A and B are shown apart, each in its own frame.
Chain A
Amino acid sequence: MAAEMALVKPISKFSRSTPKFSNPGSSSYSKFSTIKMTVTSQPTTPPKPSKKAAKKAIKETLLTPRFYTTDFDEMETLFNTEINKNLNQAEFEALLQEFKTDYNQTHFVRNKEFKEAADKLQGPLRQIFVEFLERSCTAEFSGFLLYKELGRRLKKTNPVVAEIFSLMSRDEARHAGFLNKGLSDFNFALDLGFLTKARKYTFFKPKFIFYATYLSEKIGYWRYITIYRHLKANPEYQVYPIFKYFENWCQDENRHGDFFSALMKAQPQFLNDWKAKLWARFFCLSVYVTMYLNDCQRTAFYEGIGLNTKEFDMHVIIETNRTTARIFPAVPDVENPEFKSKLDRMVQINEKLLAIGETEDIPLVKNLKRIPLIAALASELLAAYLMPPIESGSVDFAEFEPQVVY
């Protein structure tokens, strides 16, 4: 799962509160989280004070990957086969078979290329790679935690759905573990146990979990397959072997997305009214904007593997949107050039916001300076949201189905 959902409560994220631990399930919005990094040795980076090296606090920004939690009782009710007789169990059984097949059981095996490639990566690109691995690992691990818990909680009321969640958490654990081993090539390790306890959890109602995780999985697929195919065509940019694993890897993401498709189809009330349309557009927009702003802060990474960041992102957004239009009742018109112009303006505003954070001003002054920029960002977002959307949806539901020619 590629957690690309951070814009849901944007404003609150600009002020950083005091360090605080929050429990999974609580919906307090403390803005602090720490990732404990165990550093074994760092011969390649400039010397740092040892205390700082042993425990690296990640700078929490607007766009840091998040952990999710949900209303598990409501989930239990939604998928209780006794209460909800209309559940399309055939689709779930089909998915269960597909997940049990476990195409990638033997895929995630490392070789010595990894360490060698990591040693060759020096300078700024090395830092960027560490950050990429760290963020990806966090995102995968966040999927693992959520799916694992859902697998546990739904066991009684819907064993089939529960087992699929468990099998998806198997995949996510594999992915996170593989990325964490990648970090060890750079002499880092994410302490995932610590992360579980210390990190802030974002609470979403089940309906929103479906939208958010569906999009996360599908956008994750498009990101990975795009990187994979680009590097296959341009092997001179193949600087670290993890990308060679992406082709099979991202098929997992794609299947996970399919499962959320089935979950939503089993709850048509989340897909078929005007509120659903508004939420669907909102979640699409949040995910796309988050990714765009995120990636534009890290152009060095994408350029380092030979991609043009904005072109890469637009490709991923357009493809994800086309995929999403198979299930969401409405999606934004991302192929309208005006959409990209708005994204680019948001990037400019976000850069100014970040620049304020870097200044020496006292917090009050910083916050005052931020106000007009936040307003500008919000108005761009709103304008993007209000652009005429595209009516969409699965042909199993959509009103336009009788007109479809297959």
Chain B
Amino acid sequence: MLAPATLTLGSFTSLGAVANYAHKPLTLPTTRCPLLHCSQPFITTTRTRTSSVKTAVAAIDTDQLNSSDPAEKQQPNKKYYFVVANAKFMLDEEEHFQEQLAERLRYYGEKSKEQDFWLVIEPKFLDKFPNITKRLKRPAVALVSTNGPWITFMKLRLDRVLSESYEAESLEEALASNPVNIEFAKPENWVAPYPKYESGWWEPFLPPSASEKHKV
């Protein structure tokens, strides 16, 4: 009859075991903790949160580069798929999008799967797509992945996005971006019976190289 999940949580131990993916267990708490204590002033929580995210991202940078460089040399011109829209839509209005990305990151952590999706703010690859850029409000944010079918699914979910694909020689090239500061005005009449997700939720999903640059 019914099959309520009774599987073990044993795979959780594998999180710590794989050093390469050390960023995943670290990012989990950062995406999950923030909203609980939202009666507190926003700024304090944001600040602590941002710093912890930066540490998390910085911690993987070297690992990520070490582990992915050889693979990239063997397999040049990997294909990347993306959906893109303006930052307000992607990062501020579509709150379910945040939940989805957090869910996927949690899943990748549980399965020790290497992350293959990123959020890229003002991506450089957009220059190759004049037909997209002429219809795009800026700053723009792209969700990029090497998993084509998943991007097809995300297009179905988000709908108000444009979708394309491109090839790049390295991950760094594929995810290169022009840094901009993203800030959203607080909604005028927030009627939901819960606080909005905090600004900056997207940081765990930015490409490692981008955060590295910000740091340096």
Which residues of A lie under 8 Å from residue B103 when comparing CB positions?
Answer: 103, 248, 251
Residues of A within 8 A of B3 (CB): 170, 173-174, 177
Report B79-90 CB contacts with A as 1/0, cut-off 8 Å. 000001110010
Say yes or no: A178-B4 contact (C-beta < 8 A), given A94-B149, A101-B107, A406-B161: yes
* Most A-side CB within 10 Å, residue of B110, B137, B149: B149
Q: Does A404 contact B (CB under 8 A)?
A: yes
State which residues 235-274 of A face B: CB under 8 Å.
Answer: 235, 247-248, 251, 254, 258, 261-262, 265
Contact of A106 among B39, B110, B157 (CB under 8 A): B110
Q: Which of B86, B103, B162, B194 has the most CB of A within 10 A?
A: B194
Contacting pair A311 B191 (CB below 8 A)? yes
A106 contact set on B, CB distance < 8 A = 5, 7-9, 11, 110
State whether A254 and B96 are in contact (beta carbons under 8 Å apart), knowing that A405-B137, A406-B162 are contacts in the complex. Answer: yes
Q: Does A216 contact B (CB under 8 A)?
A: no
B135 within 8 Å of A by Cβ? Answer: yes
Q: How far is the CA of A232 from the CA of B137 in the complex (A)?
A: 34
A97 cross-chain contacts in B, Cβ below 8 A: 149-150, 153
Q: Is the CB of A404 within 8 A of B4?
A: no
Contact mask for chain B residues 114-139; partner A; CB cutoff 8 A; 1 contact, 0 none: 00000000000000000010011100
**In the complex, A186→B106 CA distance in Å?**
32
Can you list 24 contacts pairing A with B, beta carbon distance less than 8 Å? A90-B149, A93-B152, A105-B5, A106-B5, A108-B5, A109-B9, A173-B4, A174-B2, A177-B2, A180-B2, A192-B1, A221-B96, A225-B99, A226-B194, A229-B195, A230-B193, A254-B157, A258-B157, A307-B193, A326-B159, A326-B160, A405-B137, A406-B135, A406-B160
B179 vs chain A, min Cβ distance (A): 21
CB distance from B81 to the nearest CB of A (A): 11
Restricting to B1-22, which residues have a CB under 8 Å from any CB of A?
1-9, 11
Known: A235-B36, A254-B96. A98 touches B193 (CB 8 A): no
B161 — which chain A residues lie within 8 A by C-beta? Answer: 406
Q: A406 with B85: in contact, given A258-B153, A315-B193 (CB under 8 Å)?
A: yes
Q: How far is the CA of A107 from the CA of B1 in the complex (A)?
A: 19
Min Cβ gap A346→B in Å is 21
**A12 in the interface (beta carbon within 8 A):** no
Query: What total of chain B residues lie within 8 Å of the partner, measured CB to CB?
Result: 45
B62 within 8 A of A: no
A97-B153, A262-B156 known; A174+B4 contact, CB < 8 A = yes
**Interface range on chain A (Cβ under 8 Å from partner):** 35 or more
Contacts of B150 in A (CB 8 A): 94, 97-98
Given A103-B103, A251-B99: A95 and B2 interface contact (C-beta under 8 Å): no
Q: Are A406 and B84 in contact (CB under 8 A)?
A: yes
Q: Check A176 against B159 for contact (C-beta < 8 Å).
A: no
A108 close to B4 (CB less than 8 A): yes
A60 contacts chain B at the CB level, 8 A cutoff = no
Nearest-CB residue, chain B, relative to A325: B159
B99 and A105 form a contact (CB under 8 A):
no
Known: A174-B4, A233-B35, A235-B36. 20 other contacts (CB 8 A): A91-B156, A94-B149, A97-B153, A106-B7, A106-B8, A106-B9, A108-B4, A173-B4, A174-B5, A192-B1, A192-B2, A226-B192, A229-B195, A230-B193, A233-B38, A233-B195, A254-B157, A405-B137, A406-B84, A406-B160
B100 within 8 A of A: yes
